[in-house]
Amino acid sequence: MQTVKKITMAGLAVWGLLTTLSVAQAHHSFSASYDLEKKAEIKGKLVQMNFRNPHSSVMVIAPDAKGVEQRWGIEWGGSTALERQGLTRDSFKIGDEVIVVGQPSRDEGDHRLRMQSIRRTSDNFGWGQKGESFD
């Protein structure tokens, strides 16, 4: 009876570990949403910044490939990781003109990017140009 109980407990422990790992991997599976082989650059006005965990994000009004103004959603790292790299919720302000480079959504109709870098044009302040990353 004790052997069966130990085997059952060991099996449950392995199952729990595998479940946790698969959920963590699924959460960070950027390749499902973004084309990691491509880069896109947009230049526009910052209209929203969400500095939080588990992912920060910014919204930028910028033209698409056809020149039509769009609201772009850009996924970024969590605020804790970004703070360790010297950013705060006040590093960028609504209205800042920015250039964002990122990996585009797999769906071209979605105006979304996965942040690789952001730079404010007025003073060249930015993130992602000196090896900063949220991976």
Query: Shortest CA distance to 54 belongs to which of 79, 31, 32?
Result: 79
Say whether 26 sits in a helix, a strand or coil: helix
Residue 26 domain-assigned?
A: yes
Tell me what the mean pLDDT of segment 112-131 comes to.
95
Rounded to two decimals, what is the model's pTM? 0.77
Query: In the predicted model, what is the mean pLDDT of the chain?
Result: 84
| 97-104 vs 40-50, strand pairing mode | antiparallel
Q: What is the number of structural domains in the chain?
A: 2
Summarised one tens digit per residue, pLDDT across range 50-86 is 999 999 999 999 999 899 999 999 999 999 999 999 9
Residue 133 domain-assigned?
A: no
Q: What percent of the chain has pLDDT over 70?
A: 76
Residue 43 sits in the same domain as residue 95: yes
Say whether 93 sits in a helix, a strand or coil: coil
- Backbone φ, ψ for residue 34 (5° rounding): -120, 145
Q: Which domain holds residue 79?
A: 33-127
The residue type found at 35 is D
